[in-house]
Homo-oligomer: A and B are copies of this chain.
Amino acid sequence: MKIKIQQKILMEHLNYVIKGISSKNLIPILNCIKFDLKKEGLYLLSTDNEIAIKTFIDASDIDSIDELGEIVVAGKYIYDIVRKLGNEVINIEEVIDAQILITTPTSSFKLNCNNVSEFPNLDLEFSQKPVILNQGLFKKTINQTIFATSTQESRPVLTGINLKIRDKKLIFTATDSYRLASKELAMDKLDIEDTDIIIPARNLMEVIKLLTNDDESLELHIFANKVVFKFNTITLMTRLINGTYPDTSKLIPEEFTLTVKVNLDKFYTAIDRASLLTNEEEKNIIKLETKDNFLILSSNIPEIGNVEEKVELLDKVKNNIKIAFSAKYMMDAIRVFDSENIDLKFNGEIKPIIINDADESNLIQLILPIRTY
């Protein structure tokens, strides 16, 4: 392999594939990036077996392709070296078997390479009928749900986002069993059989970091044990989580004894302040009650003091509620709404609290209350 390429172009693509490498991996080959130089351009590939990323630099963006070939080199080192070179033309050349020379007029790096044949097959196939959607919309949907996934490995299925496809709808659901976030996307045309998969949240985070063109589209190629995402110059595979996702469809009630509308920003900042006098070990519990035309939020740490926050109700209400919940969970849930106002829906002090917004009714947030009264 022998190539001359602008540092800036190579760096952009190394930034993509470096996300496929976990620095904690003990198997050296899984810390590597594969360069595959073909006539049509340069492919860069990385994988830690759970996620695999491929990107492509077209020959027209390369200064000179002098000798086709493949190399596999330690990802961390090639990434840092290219990053610290200025924006000039870099020569990369396999000088002897399994050793490359990276040079500019003033720098000369020799790096030992790994065996090309040991690099795993990335398994980047495409399906006949991908789901095609807008990158910006997908990113927003994931951001509105992913925080509700569990970080505890004791129930692996809850560490992913559940994607169901049925009736021309994509339904994204995340829950850690204390709260739930769910968003539905109605698709105009969707010619794909019913689907029910669990995508690891960790890998979805990497996908959305790479989605830079909000107006461009993204393809999801869904298989039994993996999803392959295709967007921009990138192909990204993530394994799925095995197991059955809990049936959450019956958790969201149809009717409520009390619905209150509040200004999102005022409600958020009030909770943020009320949470100052709570203990993190106790999940930052704050109490909420309706009183006249206000929500009253309160909390206390006995030895320090107490706080009471008032938030104006935008509609008159007849019923009243007294309920307690985790300030952190409530703030996570309401932060993802774009709207000016939100609705809080109650069915009593031990029933789930539902948060949504009339203008964005396809997004639902649920929080379990905490018994204190």
Chain A positions within 8 Å of B, measured between CB atoms, are 74, 77, 80-81, 84-86, 99, 106-112, 266, 269-270, 272-273, 276-277, 303-311
Contacts and interface: CB of A to CB of B under 8 A. Distances in A.
Instruction: Count identical subunits in the complex.
Output: 2
The 3 A-B residue pairs with the shortest CB-CB distance, nearest first, are: A111-B305, A110-B305, A108-B308
Nearest to A309: B107
A273 B84 contact: yes
A77 B277 CA distance: 8
Nearest to A103: B308
Contacts of A107: 270, 273, 307-310
A307 B102 CA distance: 9
A112 to B, nearest CB: 5
A308 B109 CA distance: 6
Given A77-B277, A80-B276, A81-B273, 19 more contacts: A77-B305, A81-B276, A84-B276, A86-B269, A99-B305, A106-B266, A106-B270, A106-B309, A106-B311, A107-B307, A107-B308, A107-B309, A107-B310, A108-B307, A110-B305, A110-B307, A112-B303, A112-B304, A112-B305
Contacts of A277: 77, 109
A104 B59 CA distance: 63
A106 B310 contact: yes
A273 B85 contact: yes
A364 B23 CA distance: 39
A167 B205 CA distance: 62
A309 B105 CA distance: 9
11 contacts: A84-B269, A84-B276, A106-B311, A107-B273, A107-B307, A107-B309, A108-B307, A108-B308, A108-B309, A112-B304, A112-B305
